[in-house]
A and B are shown apart, each in its own frame.
Chain A
Amino acid sequence: MDSKHIRNFSIIAHIDHGKSTLADRILEMTGTVSKREMQDQILDSLDLERERGITIKLNAVELHYRAKDGEDYIFHLIDTPGHVDFSYEVSRSLAACDGAILVVDATQGIEAQTLANVYLALDNDLEILPVINKIDLPNADPDRVKKEIEDVIGLDCSDIPLISAKTGEGVDDVLEGIVKRLPAPSGDPKAPLKALIFDSYYDAYRGVVASICIKEGSLRVGDEVEFMQTKKRYEVVELGIKNPKEVKREVLEFGEVGYVACSIKSIRDVEVGDTITNVASPASEPLAGYRKMNPMVYCGLYPTDNARYNDLRDALEKLQLNDSSLTYEAETSKALGFGFRLGFLGLLHMEVIEERLEREYNLELIATAPSVVYHVHKTDGTILEIDNPALMPDSTMIEYIEEPYVKASIMVPNEYIGAIMELSQNKRGIYKDMQYIDDNRNQLIYEMPLSEVIFEYFDKLKSVSKGYASLDYELIGYRKSDLVKMDILINSEVVDALSVIVHRDFAYKRGQAITVKLKELLPRQQFEIPIQAAINKKIIARTNIKSLRKNVLAKCYGGDITRKKKLLEKQKEGKKRMKAVGSVSIPQEAFMAVLSMDDDD
């Protein structure tokens, strides 16, 4: 088909504004998926994605549409992950598109991720088709939202589709809008091949399957190709498109979106953002925008039962087959035994992996508090990258430490500005700017350490703003900070897995908060347990867990046996979820407590 009849686009939205529902409706209304086959939100294929309402793995589908002008069009709908952890992946799938549908909730208006996604789309020179969704809700206010889109983003909303993705109302306007307002792919069909990789997954029979968009030239089965960033060469074994079932093709032409398989064994060899070209007549330059993805957040993961170390390793191997952004290596903790240090793109990524390990692989795990990567400049001039606080060198050997900073954009109704500012200051945020969005809302810009953002910041933001604040952030580089390692001693022994890097000015307060929190979380034992926080072996905070005095069933007669035995079994289950460190049992929550900044509750 003539490339003028192709439209490659994504749907972008803030979480819960109805992106997946609109995708479903479009699939249904273009006859791609029949109503009967329709499983709600078909593009979100992982169970976890559907449960959490987020998209983690990408999908691209080909749709056929006959427009009102009588012409036939091919749409490629490219799904994007809906979370800030995956912003690079979002940017690459946007780069595969020429346009984007921007979905804004008629009851909520523009949110932080709406803007972040719009900026990503504009960075990639996409045309944007705004639509206002959820107009069927009683509190919908499309006029206000229309004005917001015009004022804040500067998009023309004169004939904006007002839709309900849920009921299908107005969705035909969206389909027409795609044809009329979004451009066809631009590029040279005769030029040397440039295919953009925007996603990949591992298939046991075909090896790595890459999702691609042909930006220039064409690709044929049997071609010898080069991946321009990794410099690796392969022969094309299989090509195809998805509708959403896979349909094999001999050739993918300019403007098409599909998949390619070249018997590649490791997902690491297929990098999102890489460009595939033809060895016979190679392109001179790869496509712009490629970046190597580096984990931002690390944590240690240990089986509560040491005997299951090998099971954990096998599970990680399997997960990594499909997740090139997950890294892990073996690590040993004095307190926790043998485990792994895992690297993640962000906290959500971390939670998803942990949950999958527990759920799909039936593992009981202890995760240490997430840590960022610190740049430690030593007195001897060398630089260490530390992603595990326990490995921080002795303070006498440290010249200074740098930590990653982010620019955080927070959208918030006026009445909560004060609370958000206070929260951000407590998280070592540096106020940068406040932008007016509309009569009610402002966007606050803070620069703050990533380490403070990854833990509890988002939850606190939501709680101090009654759920109204939204957040987006991007990495802006490393900065020098006055950081120290704080050790936690339980029963007079340092528990390495509880060590944490803190800012010196906040150390005393944090030490207090952590020891008090641990006192609440650790179960009492037959003996008294001192809990201490120390910097450079100097104790800065301490408290005691008093010894256990009463844990016995008051009544246990003949008729009580079954019930009381169950009660004991329940206590045992609780204990199994803890890690025995020396003679003390430590529950999972305790490892997270070191990042908690609560000292009030």
Chain B
Amino acid sequence: MTKALYVHVPFCAHICYYCDFCHSIYQKDRAHRWLEAFKREFKERVDDEVSTIYIGGGTPTALDDDLLEELLKTLACVHDPDKEYTIEINPETLNAKKVELLKRYGINRASIGMISSNDKELASLGRRHSFSDVTRTVELLKRYGIDNYSLDILYSFPGETFENYKKTIAEALALRPKHLSLYSLTIEEGTLFYKRGVEHFDEDEEADYYEYAKKAFEENGLLQYEVSNFALKGYESKHNLVYWHYEDFIGLSMGASGKIGAMRYDNTRDLIEYEKGHYIKERLDLKKEDMMYEYLMMGLRLNDGISLSDFEKRFDTSVFEAYKKTLPSLLESGSVKVIDGHLIASDLEILNTILVDLLDQDSE
């Protein structure tokens, strides 16, 4: 069975206006304490082979070089060159020294927070980098032979214009990424945007933006494989596919989550608790119905949907039997369809309506 490893770096040099991930402002002494605790957690909790490694955040590259190296050194024992090994990069934090470190410790995939190609827009979102930082980052990565990189693009944020957006899409494509993630802005509670009462983008415009980019990406060979993700053939994120296939993943460090069999957990976000070795804050034992629903909730995000045979193998029942109350009408209305042994959502852009209907299955 595949098992992915996610490591969360809970620090950022600053906080973006729309971000609600687990983070605190980077301070070296705190980061140092965190890293010591992390090494203990890693030792205690990872004894097995892992299939992929993903270092996310926060801002992993906000760590000072020595701490970054220490982190990479810790993880080195579970890595081998065949595995996908990704790190998230904020463009303003990268320099030659850091890329050299990444390369040395086997990182073979980078996810770059490009967000927009317009510096004014970047500033309005609380980003601290300019677009030139993005091109510089890409150059650096290429120079060190890390040419499997993905770009994150954000859209439907306040003040964005379609003209700027088109430019962002074109600039992103010009950087020849192997992979792109395209996210609409979600105004999450606790973010600065939420506190400011920022209003949601017009639904139709949001759809227009999305469809424009999707078309442009696909013309350049970057095919959609998940709601927000596009890749050249063969460059789909193996790590993220583990989530969408609802396979097991270990999340390590503060604020990370994991799933092992019929149990999901969330780690603590509190450094003091974390240092005490109280890593897991909440443990959730899943019933079969929960797992079946989560399987669909994640799997239907993929263009390939879910495999009928895999579902049956996992749950000892067919999806049609398990969802006999809700699936027939969804099939009838054409909201979902069966193609090549897969159950597929017909329109990923309105996936929630399907997922909400499916929730009705276990209401009685």
Please give the number of chain B residues whose Cβ is less than 8 angstroms from any Cβ of chain A in the complex.
Answer: 45
Asked whether B251 lies within 8 Å of A554 as measured between CB atoms, the reply is: no
- Smallest CB–CB gap between A542 and chain B, Å? 20
- Smallest CB–CB gap between A86 and chain B, Å? 40
In the bound complex, residues from chain A placing their C-beta under 8 Å from that of B266 are 559, 562
B6 within 8 A of A: yes
In the bound complex, residues from chain A placing their C-beta under 8 Å from that of B259 are 558, 561
Residue of B nearest to A307 (CB): B364
Asked whether B353 lies within 8 Å of A568 as measured between CB atoms, the reply is: no
Q: What per-residue 1/0 map shows which CB atoms of A540-576 lie under 8 Å from chain B?
A: 0000001011111111111101101100110110010
Asked whether B349 lies within 8 Å of A551 as measured between CB atoms, the reply is: yes
Residue of B nearest to A550 (CB): B207
Asked whether A555 lies within 8 Å of B350 as measured between CB atoms, the reply is: no
Contact residue among A546, A555, A558, A564 (Cβ-Cβ distance under 8 Å from B204): A546
Asked whether B207 lies within 8 Å of A553 as measured between CB atoms, the reply is: no
In the bound complex, residues from chain A placing their C-beta under 8 Å from that of B353 are 526, 548, 551
Asked whether B210 lies within 8 Å of A561 as measured between CB atoms, the reply is: no
- Residue among A546, A549, A571, A572 with most chain B CB within 10 A: A549
In the bound complex, residues from chain B placing their C-beta under 8 Å from that of A561 are 257, 259, 264, 294, 297-298
- Residue among A550, A561, A575 with most chain B CB within 10 A: A550
| Cα distance, A377 to B230, chains bound together (Å) | 69
Asked whether A569 lies within 8 Å of B359 as measured between CB atoms, the reply is: yes
Residue of B nearest to A571 (CB): B356
In the bound complex, residues from chain B placing their C-beta under 8 Å from that of A564 are 297
Known: A554-B184, A555-B183, A558-B243. A568 touches B206 (CB 8 A): no
- Smallest CB–CB gap between A557 and chain B, Å? 5
| Cα distance, A511 to B136, chains bound together (Å) | 60
Asked whether A562 lies within 8 Å of B284 as measured between CB atoms, the reply is: yes
- Smallest CB–CB gap between B230 and chain A, Å? 14
Known: A549-B204, A549-B350. A554 touches B264 (CB 8 A): no
Q: Which of B197-228 contact A (CB under 8 A)?
A: 203-204, 206-207, 210, 227-228
Q: Which of B148-172 contact A (CB under 8 A)?
A: none
| Cα distance, A4 to B193, chains bound together (Å) | 73
- Smallest CB–CB gap between A493 and chain B, Å? 17
Residue of A nearest to B297 (CB): A565
Asked whether A556 lies within 8 Å of B301 as measured between CB atoms, the reply is: yes
Known: A549-B207, A550-B207. A556 touches B352 (CB 8 A): no
Asked whether B264 lies within 8 Å of A562 as measured between CB atoms, the reply is: yes
B360 within 8 A of A: yes
Asked whether A550 lies within 8 Å of B350 as measured between CB atoms, the reply is: yes
Known: A568-B356, A571-B356. A554 touches B227 (CB 8 A): yes
Q: Which of A22-47 contact B (CB under 8 A)?
A: none
Known: A526-B333, A526-B350, A550-B350. A572 touches B356 (CB 8 A): yes
Asked whether A555 lies within 8 Å of B186 as measured between CB atoms, the reply is: yes
Asked whether B350 lies within 8 Å of A558 as measured between CB atoms, the reply is: no
Residue of A nearest to B282 (CB): A562
Asked whether A550 lies within 8 Å of B297 as measured between CB atoms, the reply is: no
Asked whether A558 lies within 8 Å of B258 as measured between CB atoms, the reply is: yes
B25 within 8 A of A: no
| Cα distance, A555 to B297, chains bound together (Å) | 12
B279 within 8 A of A: no
| Cα distance, A331 to B36, chains bound together (Å) | 71
Asked whether A551 lies within 8 Å of B350 as measured between CB atoms, the reply is: yes
In the bound complex, residues from chain A placing their C-beta under 8 Å from that of B206 are 549-550
Q: Which of B273-316 contact A (CB under 8 A)?
A: 284, 293-294, 297-298, 301
| Cα distance, A575 to B359, chains bound together (Å) | 11
- Smallest CB–CB gap between B18 and chain A, Å? 11
| Cα distance, A121 to B234, chains bound together (Å) | 88
- Smallest CB–CB gap between A279 and chain B, Å? 57
In the bound complex, residues from chain A placing their C-beta under 8 Å from that of B227 are 552-554, 556
| Cα distance, A568 to B354, chains bound together (Å) | 10
| Cα distance, A553 to B350, chains bound together (Å) | 9
| Cα distance, A559 to B360, chains bound together (Å) | 24
In the bound complex, residues from chain B placing their C-beta under 8 Å from that of A554 are 183-186, 227-228
Q: Which of B107-154 contact A (CB under 8 A)?
A: none
- Smallest CB–CB gap between A566 and chain B, Å? 11
In the bound complex, residues from chain A placing their C-beta under 8 Å from that of B249 are 558
Asked whether A568 lies within 8 Å of B352 as measured between CB atoms, the reply is: yes
Q: What per-residue 1/0 map shows which CB atoms of B235-278 lie under 8 Å from chain A?
A: 00000101100000101000111110000101000000000000
| Cα distance, A572 to B358, chains bound together (Å) | 10
- Residue among B240, B257, B349, B355 with most chain A CB within 10 A: B355
Contact residue among B228, B257, B352 (Cβ-Cβ distance under 8 Å from A571): B352
| Cα distance, A561 to B297, chains bound together (Å) | 9
In the bound complex, residues from chain B placing their C-beta under 8 Å from that of A546 are 204
B336 within 8 A of A: no
Asked whether A572 lies within 8 Å of B297 as measured between CB atoms, the reply is: no
- Residue among A552, A553, A562 with most chain B CB within 10 A: A552
| Cα distance, A551 to B184, chains bound together (Å) | 11
Asked whether B298 lies within 8 Å of A572 as measured between CB atoms, the reply is: no
| Cα distance, A546 to B360, chains bound together (Å) | 25
- Smallest CB–CB gap between A558 and chain B, Å? 4
In the bound complex, residues from chain A placing their C-beta under 8 Å from that of B335 are 526
- Smallest CB–CB gap between B355 and chain A, Å? 5
B348 within 8 A of A: yes
In the bound complex, residues from chain A placing their C-beta under 8 Å from that of B240 are 557
| Cα distance, A561 to B298, chains bound together (Å) | 8
B351 within 8 A of A: yes
Q: What per-residue 1/0 map shows which CB atoms of B327-364 lie under 8 Å from chain A?
A: 00000010100000000000111111101100110010
Known: A550-B350, A557-B240, A558-B249. A568 touches B355 (CB 8 A): yes
Asked whether B210 lies within 8 Å of A550 as measured between CB atoms, the reply is: yes
Contact residue among A551, A553, A555, A559 (Cβ-Cβ distance under 8 Å from B257): A559
Known: A526-B353, A551-B353, A558-B257. A572 touches B360 (CB 8 A): yes
| Cα distance, A549 to B363, chains bound together (Å) | 27
| Cα distance, A553 to B349, chains bound together (Å) | 9
In the bound complex, residues from chain B placing their C-beta under 8 Å from that of A565 are 293-294, 297
| Cα distance, A248 to B306, chains bound together (Å) | 74
In the bound complex, residues from chain B placing their C-beta under 8 Å from that of A553 are 186, 227, 351-352
- Smallest CB–CB gap between A575 and chain B, Å? 6
| Cα distance, A98 to B334, chains bound together (Å) | 73
Contact residue among A555, A558, A568, A572 (Cβ-Cβ distance under 8 Å from B6): A558
Residue of A nearest to B333 (CB): A526
Residue of B nearest to A523 (CB): B353
| Cα distance, A524 to B186, chains bound together (Å) | 19
In the bound complex, residues from chain A placing their C-beta under 8 Å from that of B351 are 551-553
Q: What per-residue 1/0 map shows which CB atoms of A49-77 lie under 8 Å from chain B?
A: 00000000000000000000000000000
| Cα distance, A549 to B349, chains bound together (Å) | 7
| Cα distance, A270 to B77, chains bound together (Å) | 87
Residue of A nearest to B298 (CB): A556
In the bound complex, residues from chain A placing their C-beta under 8 Å from that of B360 are 572
Asked whether A551 lies within 8 Å of B352 as measured between CB atoms, the reply is: yes
In the bound complex, residues from chain B placing their C-beta under 8 Å from that of A568 are 297, 352, 355-356, 359
In the bound complex, residues from chain B placing their C-beta under 8 Å from that of A552 are 227, 348-352
Asked whether A549 lies within 8 Å of B251 as measured between CB atoms, the reply is: no
| Cα distance, A169 to B204, chains bound together (Å) | 64
Asked whether B228 lies within 8 Å of A555 as measured between CB atoms, the reply is: yes
- Smallest CB–CB gap between B115 and chain A, Å? 14
- Smallest CB–CB gap between A304 and chain B, Å? 13
| Cα distance, A565 to B348, chains bound together (Å) | 17
Q: What per-residue 1/0 map shows which CB atoms of B83-110 lie under 8 Å from chain A?
A: 0000000000000000000000000000
Asked whether A550 lies within 8 Å of B251 as measured between CB atoms, the reply is: no
Asked whether B350 lies within 8 Å of A548 as measured between CB atoms, the reply is: yes
Asked whether A575 lies within 8 Å of B186 as measured between CB atoms, the reply is: no
Those 3 A-B pairs whose CB atoms lie nearest each other, nearest first: A549-B207, A559-B257, A551-B352
New A-B contacts (6) at CB < 8 Å, excluding given A546-B204, A553-B352, A572-B359:
A549-B203, A549-B204, A556-B243, A558-B242, A558-B257, A575-B356
5 cross-chain CB contacts under 8 A: A550-B203, A550-B206, A553-B351, A558-B258, A564-B297
